[in-house]
């Protein structure tokens, strides 16, 4: 079997994100592969997530398992201009790899020992969406997803109706899906992160599910991931209405990003204080001194006493990331949360 090194290397890089660094069983550090009919199929797993790649190739290869990291090292192009091929031939329990005039041998494990995919007998189509639309929505909410395994009900992204949302207990992000789905799904953070990275190009992504698993197919990749049966917080009850937050600032998203980058550079920790009056002043302090500067605003309806409130620069950056044009910042009192509304129906709180 022969395939270009760039294709194989790129696929193995994505597959490696699924394979665990310290596997509970040795075979999880491997990739199962088979070539037939001009297509090389590769799959990696951590038991909860399976990622499959299909690549064009020449020749056939019987099903086998090869160690992922050594194979990735052999397939890595020597330079950006390296368009050479790599060939893999199997002889019993040994695979011979020929690349760039170098011959290597890798020990192979039986393909039948590799964990099997979840059953697809009960798969039903959930949605057929433009990959770009789902990618934008996932990219917006994922920064707010929790990685705390002790709080499984927020350790992921929740798809419900026409919305996707995530929270880590300190903040919440919500975005609009390309179209509504009938049943809600909760996809763990790790699986959602892998899904985001496979949504390349401007094609479509097909989502199907069983009672316990989601299957997403886009381009050369297919993701199979376990869905969690948890009770995600009711977003409509948690997120305050703009009517309950009397102060509204209209700012350019790009101006916010630049201001937060400046704060992060000045402090290293990103904490800052916002003072709202006739102007919006941002101030930071460290052991070496303090800095204050004005955030340019398009509109400011604040009246009365100054409002002073503390923020995290990263949170505010994430709230406007991927957005252009104006963002609406809604504030209440000094201890109240901030609500950020950006175009395309996205909000952060």
**Same domain (yes/no): 245, 339:** yes
**Same domain (yes/no): 135, 185:** yes
Q: Is residue 31 part of a domain?
A: yes
**Same domain (yes/no): 178, 76:** no
Q: Is residue 118 part of a domain?
A: no
What CATH number does the domain containing 176 carry?
Answer: 3.10.150.10
**Same domain (yes/no): 20, 107:** yes
Which of 219, 237, 255 terminates a domain? The answer is: 237
- Domain of 343 in residue numbering reads as 241-348
CB 273 within 8 A of CB 306: no
Q: Is residue 17 part of a domain?
A: yes
Res 238: pLDDT: 83
**Same domain (yes/no): 222, 289:** no
Count of domains for the chain: 3
Task: Compute mean pLDDT per 10 residues along the chain, 349 residues long, and list them.
Answer: 96 96 94 98 97 98 98 91 90 94 95 94 94 96 95 96 96 96 95 94 92 95 96 87 90 95 84 92 82 93 91 94 92 89 93
E strand or H helix that includes residue 166: strand 163-167
Q: Is residue 9 part of a domain?
A: yes
Q: Is residue 119 part of a domain?
A: no
**Same domain (yes/no): 187, 274:** no
Tokens of 15: 């597959």
Alpha carbon of 89 to those of 6, 12, 348: distances in Å? 19, 18, 52
Instruction: Give the end-to-end CA distance of the chain in Å, rounded to a whole number.
Output: 52
3 state SS of 255:
helix
Res 333: pLDDT: 85
Q: Is residue 191 part of a domain?
A: yes
Res 253: pLDDT: 95
Which of 80, 113, 146 terminates a domain? The answer is: 113
**Same domain (yes/no): 283, 308:** yes
**Same domain (yes/no): 163, 135:** yes
**Same domain (yes/no): 163, 228:** yes
Q: What is the DSSP letter of 265?
A: H
Which of 87, 113, 139 terminates a domain? The answer is: 113
Res 121: pLDDT: 86
CB 328 within 8 A of CB 254: no
**Same domain (yes/no): 73, 145:** no
**Structure-token match 């951590």, residue found:** 46
**Same domain (yes/no): 220, 137:** yes
CA distance 132 to 200: 8
């Amino acid at each position: 079997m022969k395939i270009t090194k760039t294709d194989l290397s790129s696929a193995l890089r994505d597959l490696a994100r699924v394979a665990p660094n310290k596997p509970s069983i040795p075979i999880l550090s491997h990739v199962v592969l088979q070539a037939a009919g001009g297509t090389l199929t590769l799959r990696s797993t951590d038991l909860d997530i399976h990622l499959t790649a299909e690549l064009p190739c020449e020749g056939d290869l019987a099903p086998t398992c090869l160690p992922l990291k050594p194979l990735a090292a052999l397939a890595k192009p020597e330079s950006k201009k390296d368009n050479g091929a790599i060939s893999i031939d199997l002889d019993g329990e040994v695979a011979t790899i020929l690349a760039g005039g170098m011959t290597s041998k890798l020990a192979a494990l039986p393909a039948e020992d590799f964990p099997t995919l979840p059953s697809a007998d009960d798969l039903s189509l959930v949605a057929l969406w433009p990959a770009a639309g789902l990618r934008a929505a996932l990219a917006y909410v994922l920064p707010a997803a929790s990685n705390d395994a002790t709080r499984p009900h927020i350790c992921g992204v929740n798809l419900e109706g026409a919305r996707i949302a995530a929270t880590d207990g300190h903040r919440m992000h919500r975005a609009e899906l390309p179209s509504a789905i009938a049943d809600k799904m909760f996809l763990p953070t790790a699986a959602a992160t892998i899904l985001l990275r496979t949504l390349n190009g401007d094609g479509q992504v097909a989502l199907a599910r069983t009672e316990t698993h989601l299957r997403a197919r886009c381009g050369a990749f297919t993701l199979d991931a376990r869905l969690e049966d948890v009770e995600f917080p009711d977003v409509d009850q948690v997120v305050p209405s703009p009517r309950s937050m009397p102060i509204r600032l209209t700012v350019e998203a790009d101006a916010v990003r630049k201001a937060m980058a400046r704060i992060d550079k000045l402090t290293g920790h990103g904490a800052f204080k916002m003072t709202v009056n006739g102007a919006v002043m941002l101030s930071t302090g460290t052991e070496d001194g303090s800095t204050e500067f004005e955030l340019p605003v398009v509109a400011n309806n604040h009246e009365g006493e100054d409002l002073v409130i503390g923020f995290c620069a990263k949170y505010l950056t994430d709230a406007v990331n991927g957005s252009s044009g104006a963002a609406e910042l809604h504030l209440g009192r000094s201890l109240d949360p901030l609500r950020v509304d950006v175009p395309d129906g996205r909000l952060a709180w």
